[in-house]
Amino acid sequence: MNLRVPKIIAILFLSLLLTGCWDYKEIEFLDFVMGFGVDETDDGLVLVSEMVVSTGTGQEAQLEPLVLSTMSRSFATATRALDNPAGMEAFYPHAQVFLVSEEVATSGVLPAIEYLVRGRDMRTTVPFLVTKDCTVEEVFNSKPPFLTSVSEHLANTTRLQSGLSIFYAQQIWEFVKDMIAIGLSGTLPTVQLVHKGKDMVPIVKGTAVFKLDRMVGWLDGEESQIFCLLKGLPQSGRFVMETQIEEERYAITYEFVNNATKISPKMDGDQLSMEIEVELEFDVPEIGAAGIDFHDSAIVRSMEEQLAHYFNRRVRELITRIQGEFNSDILGFGQLVRRKEPKLWRRHADDWDTHLRQLRVNTEVRTKIVLTGVRAYPLIPRR
């Protein structure tokens, strides 16, 4: 036997040493973390995690959620400390959701998320939310109506973003990307607890606005809808707008079909302004008792004008809050200026916050009703 075969075998086996993640873990000794989050106390941070405990085997198998928490000075030590009450190795890659409490968000989320990005067994493709008016532990201990696991419930809810249209879903990596970007600030959706009978049910609604890594304020559900539009997110949300049809006012339901938003910086001499053009297309799934015949183009045009006016007002309101109250560049004006007008940006980079406050923003909203459900004639009850 010549030496060729041993050489090849040796090379094959030596190449195994070059591989990074090689780690023997028997699946039944892992404690699968479904969701985890960070609360803050005076003594340090509290890592709360929702595990699943399986009872029975085969068809009788049942998964029971179990909430464990541990206090520690850092996130990384807390993830290990959690193994002790669990009695098994906590396994994070299957986590469905990551939460931080309002207190953690206000004092800065960086200590809570650094390990997520740096840690070896963490995934950043996990929905990231902020709890509002409650702690992370309270959220994990609430009772979602269908699914036993709160994490699964929250993860599923964030997937319904475009239909609900009341929050702007973020995964950990997306938030981190926005946070470290120049001329852009991050946002996170918020989770709240509401009473449903005796139980508390977590719902996702609204947006937490960040500046650097600290939370500076909230947007409610309706403002979040406008924020999603301005972020250019495809929407299929529905809303009711009081609409003047001839002499009467009716509550008519509209549904987003298409939105195209363009934000661009514009130089007028030495004066910088931001131009926001919003193009919206709508379906009208419900007209109530308005009895509109959509063949009447005058009525349709009047509806479209009212929609344009309505959205123009809401966009302006949101921008006023962003500029004044939050002074946080969550729409990425700075990033656009940096790309389009790099010279100007270099001059203003250091005091962009002040500039943002005074920045002139022009808005233009164009609307179009493109669908009327599957029916153009109204339903009119007859005798």
Binding positions for other proteins, rule: CB under 8 A: 8-9, 12-13, 15-16, 19, 22-28, 30, 32, 52, 54, 56-58, 61, 63, 91, 93-94, 96, 121, 123
Whose Cβ is closer to other proteins: residue 25's or residue 347's?
A: 25
**Shortest distance, position 62 Cβ to other proteins, whole Å:** 9
Question: In the 8-state DSSP scheme, what is residue 171?
Answer: B
Q: What share of the chain is helix, strand, coil (3-state, %, to 5)?
A: 35, 35, 30
Nearer to other proteins among residue 27 and residue 298 (C-beta): 27
What is the rounded CA–CA span in Å between residue 156 and residue 96? 9
Closest distance to other proteins from the beta carbon of 129 (Å):
18
Name the minimum Å distance from CB 60 to other proteins.
10
Intra-chain end-to-end CA distance of the chain, in Å: 101
Cβ-proximal residues to 62 (8 Å cutoff; 6+ apart), any chain:
54, 55, 56
Residue with tokens 């981190």: 176
User: Shortest approach of other proteins to residue 57 CB, angstroms?
Assistant: 6
Q: Is residue 275 within 8 Å of residue 362, measured between CB atoms?
A: yes
Q: CB-wise, 147 or 344, nearer to other proteins? A: 147
Q: Which is nearer to other proteins, 87 or 381 (CB)?
A: 87
Question: CA dist 196 to 99, 144, 145, Å?
Answer: 22, 10, 9
* Residue 344 φ then ψ, to 5°: -60, -45
- Give the integer Cα–Cα distance in Å for 213 and 175: 10
**Residue 113 beta carbon to other proteins: minimum distance, rounded to whole angstroms:** 19
Q: Please compute, for residue 88, the number of CA atoms within 13 A of its CA located in the half-sphere on the CB side.
A: 16
- Residue whose CB is less far from other proteins, 25 or 309: 25
Q: How far is the CB of 124 from other proteins (least distance, A)?
A: 13
C-beta of 123 vs 143, nearer to other proteins: 123
Tell me how far, at minimum, the Cβ of 85 lies from other proteins, in Å.
19
Tell me whether strands 199-211 and 30-40 are parallel, antiparallel or unpaired. unpaired
Helices within 150-241 (DSSP H only):
150-159, 161-164, 172-180, 221-230
Contacts with 193 (C-beta within 8 Å, 6 or more apart), sequence order? 133, 134, 138, 139, 142, 200, 201, 202, 203
Of residues 24 and 343, the one with the C-beta less far from other proteins? 24
Provide, rounded to whole angstroms, the least separation between the CB of residue 54 and other proteins.
3
Nearer to other proteins, 41 or 62 (CB): 62
